[in-house]
Amino acid sequence: MRDFSLLTFARMQQTKKDIRALTKEQLRDFFVNNGDKAFRGNQVYEWLWQKSVHSFEGMTNISKETREMLENNFVINHIQVDQMQRSADGTIKNAVRLHDDLIVESVLIPTASRTTACVSSQVGCSLDCKFCATARLKRMRNLNPDEIYDQVVAIDNESRLYFNRPLSNIVFMGMGEPLMNYNNVLKAIDKITSKEGLAMSPKRITVSTSGVPKMIKKMADEKVRFNLAVSLHSAIDEVRTSIMPFNEHFPLKDLREALEYWYAKTKNRITYEYVVWQGINDGQKDVDALVRFCGFAPSKVNLIEYNPIDDGQFQQASDQAIRMYQRTLEANNITVTVRRSRGKDIDAACGQLANKT
């Protein structure tokens, strides 16, 4: 009998709707339809989004009866930080448990003046970049907007706790391809930037993509105000396809056309992420192709350090090759930065997120 009731209870939980899938308007309507005031919807909305409560019980200015009524109708599928690891350089990696027990990772990256959150957009990834640890995890599902938002809130809290300052920047460079979960990523950003959420400026948010041309154009049409970063790694189709096989379906010509469209519409500079590997893209012809590829708009190239994920199929290029890239790019008026990795000792650096724990 006991087992039966537990099972029934579990089923009921499953059929209840996640209250955070409701807009503020829908919440207000819900209360009106249940004989309460629309204003109650505002109060609950504030608890859910500004105060990020994990339970109805925590909504202390809402009456007990109302909280019970909410409990009977909804769940709050909040994420849970299952494990937090700290790197010697201050970087923090969170293993985040979702309501269905799947795990994603997010990273807090501190510098002298900033705290950056690196968040995931999907569980696993459907792309197949040969150099990335996340690519080895099957894509299980897209994250919903509040699962993305919650990762940001968790890192904001950690930043206040450990660094005495709020989160300052967000990069969608965790697990997954954000443009393959476009609607939810945009909804999450809306929440992050809205007054009812974290009121962060979109200029402090960067969405990183391997390059899905159709979605880049859609973003341009929607006049989004956050920054765009493209993980390019090579401006030669043959080379790019060999390390990022999906390039066969989204060739550089289409990517370039979409980026030109993006620039024409937004006038926003484009950032390229680029790892230089020995024997793969460390020649003069590679950097020349890069110069030609990004010449149409103000561009910035981040030369990121390779974080080894395996047996040594890929190796970071020599310092000399990196200097050659730097020189050539600068000579062509392209901004270039050389990025050192953070959090390598806890597998929190670019491309290392693979739910090892």
CB of 280 to ligand SAH, least distance (A): 13
CB of 94 to ligand SAH, least distance (A): 17
The helix/strand/coil state of 283 is: coil
Q: How many CA atoms, within 13 angstroms, populate the side-chain half-sphere of residue 215? A: 18
Report the residue number whose CB is nearest to ligand SAH.
351
DSSP class of 316: B
Q: With the CA atoms of 304, 148, 105 and 303 taken in that order, what torsion angle do they form, in degrees rounded to the nearest 10?
A: 0
Q: Which residues are catalytic?
A: 105, 350
Residue with Cβ nearer ligand SAH (262 or 306): 306
CB of 323 to ligand SAH, least distance (A): 19
Q: State how far the alpha carbon of 44 is from the alpha carbons of 21, 69, 86, 229, 250, in Å.
A: 13, 13, 34, 36, 44
C-alpha to C-alpha distance for 67 and 295, rounded to whole angstroms: 58
Place of tokens 């200029």: 203
Chain residues that interact with ligand SAH, rule: CB under 6 A = 129, 131-132, 173, 177, 208-210, 231, 273, 275, 304, 306-307, 309, 350-351
CB atoms within 10 A of CB 1: 5
C-alpha to C-alpha distance for 279 and 26, rounded to whole angstroms: 56
Residue with Cβ nearer ligand SAH (49 or 314): 314
Residue with Cβ nearer ligand SAH (45 or 314): 314
CB of 314 to ligand SAH, least distance (A): 7
CB 156 within 8 A of CB 167: yes
> Which of 303, 352, 302 has its CA nearest to residue 87?
352
> Which of 75, 81, 219 has its CA nearest to residue 152?
81
Place of tokens 């459907």: 126
177: which 2 tokens? 């391809």
Residue with Cβ nearer ligand SAH (194 or 326): 326
Residue with Cβ nearer ligand SAH (31 or 274): 274
Residue with Cβ nearer ligand SAH (132 or 235): 132
What lies within 8 Å, CB to CB, of 105 at 6+ separation is 93, 94, 95, 96, 120, 174, 175, 348, 353, 355
C-alpha to C-alpha distance for 293 and 129, rounded to whole angstroms: 20
CB of 304 to ligand SAH, least distance (A): 5
CB of 26 to ligand SAH, least distance (A): 31
